[in-house]
Structure 1
Amino acid sequence: MLANFRGEVAALSAALIWAAASVVYTGVGQQVSPLVLNLVKGLIAIALLLLTLLLFGKLLPSASPMPVLLLLLSGVIGIGMGDTAYFAALNSLGARRALVLESLSPPLGAFLALVFLQEQLAPLAWLGIALTIAGVTWVVLERSPQPNGTLTHPPLRGIIAGLVAAVGQAIGAVLSRAALAGTDVDPLWSTLIRLLAGILILLIWFSAQKHPIQKLAPLRSHKLWGIIIMAAFASTYLGIWLQQIALKYAPTGIAQSLSATSPLFVIPFAIATGEKVSLRAVFGAAIALVGVWLLFVR
């Protein structure tokens, strides 16, 4: 039965991986700029993908030009622009507020897929998307007490970066869906194409920076390299591969909504480590899980 929901299962698996990776990247982002972090993790993932494709004998698959062009555009917009903006939002807003803005991506992706791909969703699926995103947002918006008891206002630059990330990833997802749905393009190979396009843009962007070599100084740390390699393996190599599987076998809005459930996976980890979890967080998770259930039974 799971074979009928392989896209949905892949999206939830990606969300689980990204939940753990977001915590790691928040810490790493204090030492490495968003552009450098996105570039390095992408290069590591490309090396892993090339090795995997070589082992599977799929290094040079046949594909028509249009899906390849769509995947290249998806990589430029979704990875080159969207992911870099997301890391900037993480640095500026923190994981919680950045994830709130990220929750705009699934409904936007579903709307764009409806307009440009004529991808129709049943009313129950739209309800599931709405409940999933509402529950996730409810969990993420839970207020954290400030040390001095004051409220903090998010900087405008971080909000803009978060919005750019949401739009970029929504457009990237729709382009990937257009390239993958109804074609014989392999998700693993499409992951490589997207990453190559995204990294090319990042390399051009990086080269245009003032004193680019100086921005690589934090990478002299072997410990930091180890953390980035492990995170890149999980979040970029496995995570984007799973996302491509999700977009191949599930409609855009559903795949994006399930991929956005990362904050829910943080709750069990918090409980396991003895952290106190509020009733609000549990209630929000319950709402989101109802939405997830609707996406499976639609």
Structure 2
Amino acid sequence: MTNFSGEVAALAAACLWAVASIVYGKLGARIPPLQLNLIKGIIAIAFFVFTILVTGELFPSITILPMCLILLSGVIGISLGDTAFFTTINTLGPRRALLMQTLTSPISAILGLIFLQEKLNTLAGCGILLTILGVAWVVSERTTDIGHISTAEFRRGIVFGLLTAAAGAVGAVLSRSAIANTQISPLWAALLRLSAGILILLVWASFRQQSTFRLSSLRNSKVIAGTLFAAFCGTYLGIWLQQTAIKFTSVGIASTLLQTSPIFVIPFAIWMGEKVSIRAILGVVISIAGIALLFYL
């Protein structure tokens, strides 16, 4: 009997990221992106440490190179990528922010072509084009939920969305290179990535001139509950499941299924009263189809 643990983990991670992104969208009105990234990371690290203590899982035997790759993937993917992602959510909303993250896959393929001399056939090129067109078609639709922002803010959201995808692509490639052929468990890989990212965020925060922590925003019980919930679902469980998917299934399947968050977020958006157009739904389907074409063919 075939074991689909990697595929199930990828879909579960995508669903949890969709839920967490909606919560982060609400929290973004009260907590700045850098602070939110730092807080959710610290909370998730506490969950990971508790899990390791309960399970008694020992620190893995791993050589220097894979360790450095894991830590670097956390620095790029979490400290830079997640901060840019929260900025994108604040500007474009969770649904479009998640959709722009689907660009992570074609960017990964292009990076492999440039730096690793990996070959892309014609169908893979069509997949990249489909994904980009699907994202562009949805994001360019100026509906009422983002119609209130200025053109400058809209462009800022696009730039940070692209930065999120690029950082995610680099982080994913580094992480896959580190854990694919080693004995390190997904739990430890997730903790090491997250710890490296949060350490850089702490250094980054210490050099900022303005106050990074607005603790008054954390005095609201709903904000505290929302932050704990999103950190638990989106960061603790999400990253753990992501690393599980990367380790136990092929790169193509994991990358495709991990990018299905925009599909999961649509029902939640409708349930919350947001008007989701047919164009938006078709754009998501086109983007996911492009990712599937890129990796399978």
Identity %: 53
Counterpart residue type for residue 68 of structure 1: M
Counterparts of residues 1-298 of structure 1 (less than 5 Å): 3=3, 5-113=4-112, 135=134, 138=137, 142-145=141-144, 153-155=151-153, 156-212=155-211, 214-252=213-251, 254-270=253-269, 277-287=276-286
In the alignment, structure 1 segments of 5+ residues that lack a partner are: none
What CA deviation, in whole Å up to 9, does each residue of 1:84-142 have, x standing for no partner?
11112222333344344323211111333455567678877776676566556655555
What CA deviation, in whole Å up to 9, does each residue of 1:172-193 have, x standing for no partner?
0000000011221111110000
Please say if residues 252 and 296 of structure 2, whose CA atoms lie closer than 8 Å, have aligned partners that are also in contact: no
Query: TM (normalized to structure 2)?
Result: 0.83
Partner SS for 1:30:
coil
What CA deviation, in whole Å up to 9, does each residue of 1:137-190 have, x standing for no partner?
65555542379x889525243333222222111110000000011221111110
Deviates more, 1:118-127 or 1:45-54: 118-127
What CA deviation, in whole Å up to 9, does each residue of 1:35-63 have, x standing for no partner?
11000100111011111112222142221
User: Would the alpha carbon gap of residues 271 and 38 (structure 1) be closer, same or farther in structure 2, given more than 3 Å must change?
Assistant: closer
Alignment partners' CA distance in 1, 2:174 and 2:121 = 21
Counterpart residue type for residue 10 of structure 2: A
Alignment partners' CA distance in 2, 1:195 and 1:257 = 22
Partner SS for 2:151:
coil
Counterpart residue type for residue 106 of structure 2: P
Alignment partners' CA distance in 2, 1:278 and 1:160 = 24
Q: How many residues align?
A: 296
Deviates more, 1:183-192 or 1:278-287: 278-287
User: Would the alpha carbon gap of residues 188 and 108 (structure 1) be closer, same or farther in structure 2, given more than 3 Å must change?
Assistant: same
User: Would the alpha carbon gap of residues 39 and 117 (structure 1) be closer, same or farther in structure 2, given more than 3 Å must change?
Assistant: same
User: Would the alpha carbon gap of residues 198 and 192 (structure 1) be closer, same or farther in structure 2, given more than 3 Å must change?
Assistant: same
Please say if residues 139 and 263 of structure 1, whose CA atoms lie closer than 8 Å, have aligned partners that are also in contact: no
Alignment partners' CA distance in 2, 1:141 and 1:50 = 42
User: Would the alpha carbon gap of residues 116 and 186 (structure 1) be closer, same or farther in structure 2, given more than 3 Å must change?
Assistant: farther
Deviates more, 1:204-213 or 1:30-39: 204-213
Counterpart residue type for residue 168 of structure 1: A
Deviates more, 1:239-248 or 1:153-162: 153-162
Please say if residues 110 and 253 of structure 1, whose CA atoms lie closer than 8 Å, have aligned partners that are also in contact: no
Please say if residues 254 and 295 of structure 1, whose CA atoms lie closer than 8 Å, have aligned partners that are also in contact: no
Counterpart residue type for residue 261 of structure 1: T
User: Would the alpha carbon gap of residues 14 and 131 (structure 1) be closer, same or farther in structure 2, given more than 3 Å must change?
Assistant: farther
Shift of 1:224: 1.1
Query: TM (normalized to structure 1)?
Result: 0.83
Deviates more, 1:274-283 or 1:56-65: 274-283
In the alignment, structure 2 segments of 5+ residues that lack a partner are: none
RMSD, aligned CA: 3.3
Partner SS for 2:165:
helix
Alignment partners' CA distance in 2, 1:249 and 1:119 = 22
User: Would the alpha carbon gap of residues 241 and 44 (structure 1) be closer, same or farther in structure 2, given more than 3 Å must change?
Assistant: same
Counterpart residue type for residue 81 of structure 1: L
User: Would the alpha carbon gap of residues 167 and 278 (structure 1) be closer, same or farther in structure 2, given more than 3 Å must change?
Assistant: closer
Alignment partners' CA distance in 1, 2:119 and 2:249 = 12
Partner SS for 1:145:
coil
Please say if residues 252 and 295 of structure 2, whose CA atoms lie closer than 8 Å, have aligned partners that are also in contact: no
User: Would the alpha carbon gap of residues 120 and 6 (structure 1) be closer, same or farther in structure 2, given more than 3 Å must change?
Assistant: farther
Alignment partners' CA distance in 2, 1:292 and 1:159 = 20
Shift of 1:256: 3.3
Shift of 1:257: 3.6
Alignment partners' CA distance in 2, 1:289 and 1:157 = 24
Please say if residues 71 and 179 of structure 1, whose CA atoms lie closer than 8 Å, have aligned partners that are also in contact: yes
